[in-house]
Amino acid sequence: MCSSDGLQQVLPHLSAVVIESVQWSVEGVVLRTRSRTSSARCPHCEERSRRVHARYERRLADAPLGGVPVVIVLLIRRFKCLAAGCPAVTFAEQIPGLTGPHARYTPILRGQ
């Protein structure tokens, strides 16, 4: 088994996440990941928040490796926006270059 650092050399679009585990399943290769940062920026007011409101898992289909499908299971945090007057009470973190609102595919897979 190769290390997380070795995987990130092969998959540079995952540099913003920590790969917690790699598993083989009927889906293919499943990478369990989480963000490297401790905070996120509100998409409405741009204020940073560290106050986590909730967590959930998001599944993203990624480009195959050697013909084997890859699924990224990403632990997403919902943050509470603490800015007075901001219309966003909570917001989900986004990983630059990897996720977008409601996306189910990585940018690399969408580009193929």
Q: Are 88 and 4 in contact (CB under 8 A)?
A: no
Which backbone phi and psi does 106 adopt, to 5 degrees? -75, 160
Kindly report the number of other CB atoms within 10 A of residue 18's CB atom: 13
The C-alpha torsion from 103 through 106 and 111 to 112, rounded to 10°, is -120
Per-residue pLDDT tens digits of the chain, which is 112 residues long: 455 555 666 677 888 999 999 999 998 999 999 999 999 999 999 999 999 999 999 999 999 988 999 999 999 999 999 999 999 999 999 998 898 888 899 988 888 8
Domain span at residue 15 reads: 4-111
Q: How many domains does the chain have?
A: 1
Kindly report the number of other CB atoms within 10 A of residue 40's CB atom: 21
